[in-house]
Each structure stands twice: as C-alpha cells, then as structure tokens.
Chain A
C-alpha cells in the first residue's frame, strides 16, 4: 500500500509478509520523484542495500522506518540478524544464535547429501515462486525459463536450475527466507542459501546486505585473489 499522507498511523499494520525491497522496485517505476518512506525489517533493509549497490534503487530517495521483528518472527525465520540499524517500531529481539538447520546436511556423506537434494529438487514443479518472491532477484525474464542451461524444459527442471539460482544469489542473498516460504513443495532453500552465504564469508569475508561493502563481489576487484593457489580462496 502506498500512502502519500498518513492521517492515522495507529491503524497501519506492519507485519506484512512481503519483501519491501521487491515492492520498492515496482513503486520505483511509476513514482519518479520525491522521497519514499518505507517500513523496513532488517532483511528489507539489507535487500534494499543490495539493490542500491546495483543502482536499481536510488538510496537518497528512501527513508527507512526501522521495524524490529518480534521474537516469534525471529524464531520462525531462524533469523540470525533481526535488528534493523535504526529501530523505530517494535522491540528488538534476540537473534537466533546460529541457525543449525543445515548442520545435518553438512554432516551427511556427499552421497547422502546428493541423494537428499536430488529428492528435494525432484519435487520442484518450476512454479518460479522462489524467484518471483525474492527481493534481490531483479530480472524481468528469468534465464531459467530458457533452454540454454536447462536442456530438458520439463518438470522437474533438473539440478542446473537450482545451482544457477544459488550462484546468482551468492553475493546478494540476505536470508529473508522468502524463497523457502513461497515454495509450495517445501524445498529447504533457505538452508542452501545460508550454507553458501557462510562460504562467501569464509572465502571472501563477504556479507550480503552490508552497505559498507559496496561492490557486488563476484564482478569486481574486491577481495583480491591469491596468486599461488587459486583454489585456496
């Protein structure tokens, strides 16, 4: 809902389960001038930072109203970073210490892990819910709808589909969990994202959503590689 004047702020609901960044990109198309205030949770804020980095949003035209998520919300999202940089609404809740939902996956043997994921991905009916609801997925048409990388256009779409989405999100996923929430067949996508984000941190000390880290890492010269053994980083 886009309000130009707020007469009775008490009536507003702030627990909309949508990703504000995604909504902003849509608003951006027709609201060309003036400043937009937006109620933003921590994940909204980070997603907005990723879009600002890519010049898809104009940061100077945004005013973020920080919304702290409730303890239940934090729990539901297994969120490790729930508190916005400025809290205007709500009370900050303790983050989940360390989301270990994926720990079991990493403990599996490679063979079992592959089995696990193949069985998960076999459920995929290619509804594109994960991409359509993702706040940092910004293409209008998705390359995954084409044949180039997924040779059988059928359903389920095969492994490549999911791997490509994973790598595309590697330097921008803010762990909002929207993909997993919107998946009708319950593929544990957030766990996959979190595992990769941990790798990004370990390999390049990169954390998505950090406005200080200005460059989308995989395209720029940040985090200079090692000469001797390219596989160590």
Chain B
C-alpha cells in the first residue's frame, strides 16, 4: 500500500453532515486523519469557487456533505448543491484534473457510520489517485 497521505478538505452543513460527523466522533468510529472539516450553514452555500481554489492550490480532494434531499434545514438549499458540485467536478475533468477529487454526498445527523464510510473511502480513493498534480504546477 502506498504511504501517500492526502490532504483533504470537507465542507459539512451545520444541520446534518456536521452533526453526522459529530456522531461518528461520539461513537468513536475510527477513520483516517486526512479530512479537515469546514462547517458551513448549508451545503448550498459552498461556492464552486471554493472547490476550484482548493484544488488549484494543491489540496488533494474536496468533499461536500449535506443533508439528504428533502431533509434540508433550509427547505431546498441542497437541491442547488446537487447540481453545482457535480458540475464543478466535471469542469475539473475538462482541464485534466480527475473529477473524483471532488465528491458530493449526503450524510444525515444520524449517519455517523456513513460519515466514517464516506471519509474512509474518499481517503482511499485519493490515496490511489496520488498527489494532486497542481501541487507541482507553478504559474
């Protein structure tokens, strides 16, 4: 197994995913220490700009986690997320960055285990992709 340690940014919405991450902690669900959570009020407030900024600066992967469709604390915020983030991933692909470096998923406040699963899988995936090539790029 390779020993590359990806550096990952995760946006979690305050009401579901951040709470789901908290629950994973409360239940002491162990997972790789590569994911750094930024709390936002709603996944719909995550600008694609943030994703691009992170990837362009060499962060290896970006997770965006929100409430399940229908559960959004702000009624329908996450419906927008569901379009913006996959599109951002696709755009990265167009310029030669693996779209798997950006992943959107839904984690509810009761899904500590899902948070663990998403984090673990994503870290594994980033490990297999290797370092973000943008790390080496200087403009």
- Nearest 8 pairs of A and B residues by beta carbon: A114-B96, A225-B82, A113-B96, A163-B52, A159-B56, A117-B95, A160-B56, A230-B104
The secondary-structure label for the interface of chain B is helix
Rounded to whole Å, the gap between the CB of A226 and the closest CB of chain B is 8
By a CB distance below 8 angstroms, the chain B residues around A231 are 86, 89, 103-105
User: Which residues of A (89-137) have their CB < 8 Å from a CB of B?
Assistant: 105, 108, 110-118, 121-122
Once the chains are docked, how many angstroms separate the CA of A196 from the CA of B99? 13
By a CB distance below 8 angstroms, the chain A residues around B94 are 105, 113, 166, 192, 195-196, 199
User: Which residues of B (97-139) have their CB < 8 Å from a CB of A?
Assistant: 97-98, 103-106, 133-134, 137, 139
By a CB distance below 8 angstroms, the chain A residues around B84 are 167, 218
Q: How many A-B residue pairs have CB under 8 A?
A: 122
Contact digits for A189-233, partner B, Cβ 8 Å, 1 yes 0 no: 000100110011001100000000000011111011111001101
Rounded to whole Å, the gap between the CB of B80 and the closest CB of chain A is 6
Contact of B137 among A105, A110, A159, A167 (CB under 8 A): A159
Once the chains are docked, how many angstroms separate the CA of A192 from the CA of B76? 31
B56–A163 contact, CB under 8 A? Answer: yes
B133–A114 contact, CB under 8 A? Answer: yes
Once the chains are docked, how many angstroms separate the CA of A196 from the CA of B96? 13
Given contacts A114-B97, A159-B52, A203-B90, whether A223 and B83 have CB atoms under 8 Å apart is: yes
Once the chains are docked, how many angstroms separate the CA of A138 from the CA of B112? 43
- Is B48 in the interface zone, CB < 8 Å from A? yes
A167–B87 contact, CB under 8 A? Answer: yes
By a CB distance below 8 angstroms, the chain A residues around B137 are 118, 159
By a CB distance below 8 angstroms, the chain A residues around B88 are 167
Once the chains are docked, how many angstroms separate the CA of A218 from the CA of B69? 16
Once the chains are docked, how many angstroms separate the CA of A5 from the CA of B103? 57
Given contacts A122-B139, A149-B53, A158-B56, whether A199 and B87 have CB atoms under 8 Å apart is: yes
By a CB distance below 8 angstroms, the chain A residues around B78 are 225
B90–A163 contact, CB under 8 A? Answer: no
- Is A184 in the interface zone, CB < 8 Å from B? no
Rounded to whole Å, the gap between the CB of B27 and the closest CB of chain A is 24
Once the chains are docked, how many angstroms separate the CA of A121 from the CA of B82? 29
By a CB distance below 8 angstroms, the chain B residues around A181 are none
